[in-house]
Structure 1
């Protein structure tokens, strides 16, 4: 799921098709095998331990594409299926260094808080 679907679509449109395809494939991989396994493979890393914000990492064709996301324990109060969690992508961006920009992390934290307050 996406916090802002139009923003995410614009991000994908800004990437070369091969890179955008890898972003989508990586999202599917996280959904299929989970955060722990993708962290072990260094495809995902936790960028904020207190707020549980994760970074999906794609490095290809000289482009460092990132999507920040959080795990929603339950999609709704009636849902008991924790084995199949929901992930919410808060924001996506390209970067040139290995460090996550603080403004992007702050944006992800704020969006996570807003999302949870709306529920």
Structure 2
């Protein structure tokens, strides 16, 4: 019986050592994966900041004004003036409802559970 108990304890120690060994390597692999993902995120953030800077550079008002002047006839642009804006009376708004009832007494309201 004593030998069986020793053998069982040895098997348990070997099993726990194997489990700790595999968990250690899984943890290291996961840490490497996390580090790789963090590097990818950092490079993508850097690319985004470069693209934002490029977008700001390309959308400078003086550059756009020069491009509009260079391509004025090609694009068929017209100079913006106050005559290009319409009046509000020219907008076709939907008709207003004519017969609205005036409520003088409180209305009972229930929620979805039927409680007032």
TM-score range, shorter chain: under 0.3
The answer to which structure has the higher strand fraction is 1
Based on CA coordinates, which of the two structures has the bigger radius of gyration? 2
**TM-score w.r.t. structure 1 length?**
0.17
Between 1 and 2, higher relative CO (CA 8 Å, sep ≥ 6) is seen in 1
